[in-house]
């Protein structure tokens, strides 16, 4: 996912570099060439309108914002407590599962797929019967919704699973027992029936089909990271894995919103398993001796090779077909002992019916199976379900079956890798931001005040997802990481203005109050323009934009919410820092001056040099 979105930061960085050069080299020339606003015409009319808006904003700053800011500064420790409470509420909202988390956002794709698997060795006619039944169910759903035209076509195949389908991962790769049905639909913007709703109706219409081992419904849109629920069970014995996976699959059925549960076992063809008895050892027959004689009798052994023209023909000797047709023929097969005698197979071995394993997966020298399931969006949270399994079901299985191990796979594994990489990058970014702020401020404490807006930007990003009805995803987290570099801009401007007023000799209370009043306009306009610039992407409905919307929501709402924090809480935190410095004897006491600056219009306060 990181490589997929690498182009976005590359473009943003390029745009920021060009805009920086433009602001330093081109913009001053444009400002110097501004026309006299006293001239008549359209320019003068626009200037008068701009002055009206400016005066209205100044009145709001003086009459509304300045008194509120003064109260926030007086009760700065209450402001600190309010900020901490907001962080706790946001953290609890996410940690408590009130908002879901998916590795990738759920997109309304245009290709619906039903992957079908019958028992290994099933006849192709049986597979074809199920395939036709599933295709007919899809057509009935489309006709019942009065939208038969939304299907561009229905394609099906037998014998090969779909590539990248998590439902058939680590399973038998091909065979007449496999089939899939694909419904190609028009783009999401051209139909009322969503792909998720279509899948639910399709699944209900198909119902339970006799003879089907697994059937999985999914929507294909890009490479699949794996099933939302994927637990890998590891053990040295296959019988233990079979029992444990069946119990885990049964436990998953108790969770609402979980469907397409697959215990991970592909049952192979019927076979007869042999277990040697003590009589075999007495007669001098080993398991290898028995296996070689059984193979020679039923499969055959090469007797000679004969040249026929240009071809070499192998001559294989085995029992006649009439003597290897029934299980009784197998049980009464005469085996030769080392002493030259003969003994029936059933007298030296216990014969048990069983099934072969078409696929045996190994990891770190141990066999493993994957128990997978899908999660219905809006009804269940994969992270919450996995946490519940890890707390209750999985420990019980490990206690019941000694030597059993587990780990999460599928999208959870990819999510862990991506999240780990992203968090390491975020830490490096935060260290870089801190260093860039500490150098001009010549302080290790003031960068902390500037960066205090970052956690509140994350609160805004979470609130934006709740308001817009989106689940969190890796794309949302990428937007939050980018947000950390955006929200510091406004708090940097505010703290820099306060430092400027301090250098002029103003008391710290008056300096931060005047900085808040003076920098209200640029902070507000910067945040509003950023949010409005992201609004078209947030409200976009095309399928191509759905991958980017969570990132835009994180950035837009994070910046918008952080603006309130910067204008009220960052000044309070600035004073708290100086309270601490005063206790350490490194600064003067914070005292509110009578008639602190900022109660007058913002335009009368001297602008700090930038």
Q: Which two tokens stand for residue 416?
A: 């862990």
pLDDT at 38: 61
Angstrom distance (rounded) from CA 220 to CA 199? 12
Angstrom distance (rounded) from CA 452 to CA 436? 15
Q: Which two tokens stand for residue 454?
A: 């970052």
3-state secondary structure 391-451: HHHHHHHHHHCCCCEEEECHHHHHHHHHHHHHHHHHHHHHHHHHHHHHHHHCCCCHHHHHH
> Per-domain residue ranges for the chain?
1-34, 45-104+414-604, 108-220, 270-355
CATH-assigned architecture of domain 270-355:
2-Layer Sandwich (3.30)
Angstrom distance (rounded) from CA 37 to CA 237? 87
The predicted-structure confidence for 289-305, as pLDDT tens digits, reads as follows: 899 999 999 988 888 88
The answer to whether the predicted template modeling score (pTM) of the entire model surpasses 0.75 is: no
Q: Which two tokens stand for residue 116?
A: 């079908």
Angstrom distance (rounded) from CA 104 to CA 471? 10
The predicted-structure confidence for 148-175, as pLDDT tens digits, reads as follows: 577 788 888 888 766 545 445 445 467 7
Name the residue among 114, 433, 369, 145 with its Cα closest to residue 259: 114
E strand map for 495-595: none
Q: Which two tokens stand for residue 251?
A: 């436990």
**Sites in the chain below the pLDDT cut of 70:** 1-5, 34-41, 43, 146-148, 161-173, 221-226, 266-268, 358, 364-365, 378, 543-544, 586-610
> Contacts for 576-579 with beta carbons within 8 Å, 24 or more apart?
576/76, 576/77, 576/80, 577/445, 577/446, 577/448, 577/449, 578/508, 579/76
Angstrom distance (rounded) from CA 210 to CA 212? 6
pLDDT at 579: 86
Longest dimension (CA), the chain: 123
Q: Please, are residues 154 and 136 in contact by the beta-carbon 8 Å criterion? A: no
φ, ψ for residue 593 (rounded to 5)?
-85, 150
Output the DSSP codes for 36-96. Answer: PTTS-SHHHHHHHHHHHHHHHHHHHIIIIIHHHHHHHHHTHHHHHHHHHHHHHHHHHHHHT
Helix (H) or strand (E) holding 543: none
CATH number corresponding to 108-220:
3.30.70.1430
Rg (CA), the chain: 36
Output the DSSP codes for 139-199. Answer: HHHHHHTT-GGGEEEEEEEES-PPTT-GGGTTS----TTEEEEEEEE--GGG-SS-HHHHH
CB contact set of 16 (below 8 Å; sequence gap of 6+): none
CATH number corresponding to 45-104+414-604:
1.20.1640.10
Angstrom distance (rounded) from CA 335 to CA 179? 43
Angstrom distance (rounded) from CA 261 to CA 47? 66
Angstrom distance (rounded) from CA 316 to CA 318? 7
Angstrom distance (rounded) from CA 553 to CA 530? 12
pLDDT at 608: 45
CB contact set of 245 (below 8 Å; sequence gap of 6+): 233, 263, 264, 265, 369, 371
108-220 and 270-355: identical CATH topology: no
């Amino acid at each position: 996912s990181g490589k997929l979105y690498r182009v976005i930061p590359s473009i943003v960085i390029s745009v920021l570099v060009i805009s920086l050069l433009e602001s330093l080299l081109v913009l001053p020339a444009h400002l110097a060439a501004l026309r006299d606003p006293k001239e008549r015409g359209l320019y003068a009319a626009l200037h008068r309108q701009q002055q009206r808006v400016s005066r209205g904003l100044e009145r709001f700053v003086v009459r509304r914002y300045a008194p509120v800011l003064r109260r926030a500064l007086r009760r700065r420790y209450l402001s600190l407590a309010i900020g901490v409470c907001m962080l706790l509420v946001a953290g609890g909202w996410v940690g408590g599962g009130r908002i879901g988390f998916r590795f990738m956002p759920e997109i309304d794709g245009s290709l619906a797929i039903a992957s079908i698997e019958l028992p290994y060795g099933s006849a192709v006619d049986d597979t074809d019967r199920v395939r036709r039944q599933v295709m007919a169910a899809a057509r009935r759903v489309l006709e019942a919704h009065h939208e038969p035209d939304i299907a561009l076509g229905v394609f099906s195949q037998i014998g090969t699973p779909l590539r990248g389908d998590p439902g058939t991962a680590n399973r038998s790769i091909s065979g007449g027992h496999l089939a899939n049905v694909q419904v190609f639909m028009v783009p999401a913007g051209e139909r009322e029936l969503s792909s998720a709703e279509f899948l639910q109706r399709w699944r209900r219409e198909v119902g339970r089909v006799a003879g089907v081992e697994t059937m999985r419904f999914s929507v294909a849109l890009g490479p699949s990271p794996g099933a939302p629920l994927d637990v890998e069970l590891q053990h040295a014995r296959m019988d233990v894995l079979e029992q444990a996976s069946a119990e885990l699959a049964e436990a998953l059925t108790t969770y609402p919103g979980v469907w397409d549960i697959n215990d991970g076992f592909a049952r192979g063809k019927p076979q007869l398993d042999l277990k040697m008895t003590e009589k075999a050892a007495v007669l001098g027959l080993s398991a290898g001796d028995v296996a070689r004689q059984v193979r020679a009798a039923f499969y055959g052994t090469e007797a000679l090779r004969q040249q026929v023209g240009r071809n070499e023909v192998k001559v294989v000797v085995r029992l006649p077909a009439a003597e290897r047709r029934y299980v009784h023929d197998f049980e009464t097969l005469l085996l030769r002992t080392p002493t030259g005698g003969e003994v029936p197979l059933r007298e030296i071995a216990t014969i048990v019916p069983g099934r072969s394993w078409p696929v045996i997966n190994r990891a770190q020298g141990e066999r493993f199976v994957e128990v997978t399931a899908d999660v219905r969006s809006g009804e269940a949270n994969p992270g919450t379900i996995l946490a519940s399994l890890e707390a209750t079901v999985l420990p019980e299985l490990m206690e019941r079956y000694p030597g059993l191990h587990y780990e999460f796979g599928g999208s959870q594994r990819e999510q862990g890798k991506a999240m780990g990489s992203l968090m390491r990058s975020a830490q490096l970014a935060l260290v870089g931001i801190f260093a860039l702020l500490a150098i001009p401020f010549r302080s290790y404490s003031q960068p902390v005040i500037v960066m205090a807006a970052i956690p509140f930007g994350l609160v805004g990003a979470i609130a934006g997802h709740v308001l817009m009805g989106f689940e969190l995803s890796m794309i949302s987290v990428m937007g939050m990481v980018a947000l950390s570099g955006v929200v510091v801009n406004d708090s940097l401007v505010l703290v820099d203005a306060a430092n400027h007023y301090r250098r002029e000799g103003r008391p710290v209370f008056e300096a931060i109050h005047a900085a808040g009043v003076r920098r209200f306009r640029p902070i507000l306009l910067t945040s509003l323009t950023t949010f409005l610039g992201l609004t078209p992407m947030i409200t976009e409905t095309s399928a191509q934009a759905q991958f980017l919307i969570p990132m835009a929501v994180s950035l837009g709402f994070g910046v918008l919410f952080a603006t309130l924090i910067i204008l009220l809480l960052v000044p309070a935190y600035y004073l708290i820092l100086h309270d601490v410095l005063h206790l350490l004897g490194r600064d003067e006491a914070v005292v509110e001056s009578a008639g602190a600056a900022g109660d007058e219009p913002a335009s009368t306060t001297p602008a700090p040099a930038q």
